[in-house]
Amino acid sequence: MQDFCNSTDFEGGWDVLDTPEGLAGWLADHGHPAAAPLGQSDVERAITFREALRDACAVGAEDAGETRARGRAYLNEASRDLPLHVNLSEEGAALEPVADGLPGALAAMLGALAAGHADGTAARLKACEAHSCRWVFYDQSRNGSSRWCTMRLCGARSKNRAYRMRLRESSG
């Protein structure tokens, strides 16, 4: 799921999924090869779903709660068309996709997200607060309070910006 969200780089301006060929390649690489050729509507579906996942991981900003709610609402709606089944085993219960290709990949991500909510790890999946970044990262910090993908890059950048703003305010 993290891989899927990070298949684009807003800063670098590239997006692996923005062509049918790119999307097909990504799906094949991640165990969900598409049986039929993909089209532009599949590209749009994948990207809309990806950005809803990213929204569902929003943190930090004042409106992060609203962004998360918007992302979740989209995913809840999308899940109606994504076939998942319950696989019970000695290890526990897993939600697994029934379909192949793009629907299978999207369903698998919802299954993983549901599992993450069940064991509490979903709260640590976050979209970097830096607007230009929004990379989805797993917060490894002890108290789960990270807001940026890396303190060195995005955290420092954001702190510098706040510092410059303060300077401007105090001098103005």
In the structure encoding, which two tokens stand for residue 29, read together?
A: 């690489």
* Cβ atoms of 135 and 57 closer than 8 Å: no
Q: Is 59 near Zn ion (CB under 5 A)?
A: no
# of chain residues touching Zn ion (CB under 5 A): 6
58 contributes a contact to Zn ion by CB under 5 A: no
Helix (H) or strand (E) holding 56: helix 40-56
Q: Which is nearer to Zn ion, 24 or 149 (CB)?
A: 149
Does 46 participate in binding Zn ion (rule CB under 5 A)? no
Please report whether residue 130 would count as binding Zn ion according to CB under 5 A: yes
Beta carbon of residue 143, minimum distance to Zn ion (angstroms, whole number): 19
What CA–CA distance (Å, rounded) separates 26 from 20?
Answer: 10
Which token pair is 125? 């999946």
Q: Does 149 bind Zn ion (CB under 5 A)?
A: yes
Does 108 bind Zn ion (CB under 5 A)? Our answer is: no
Sign of torsion, CA 38 34 81 64? Answer: negative
Strand-pair partners of 95:
86
Nearer to Zn ion, 106 or 149 (CB): 149
Tell which one of 23, 133, 139, 147 touches Zn ion (CB under 5 A): 133
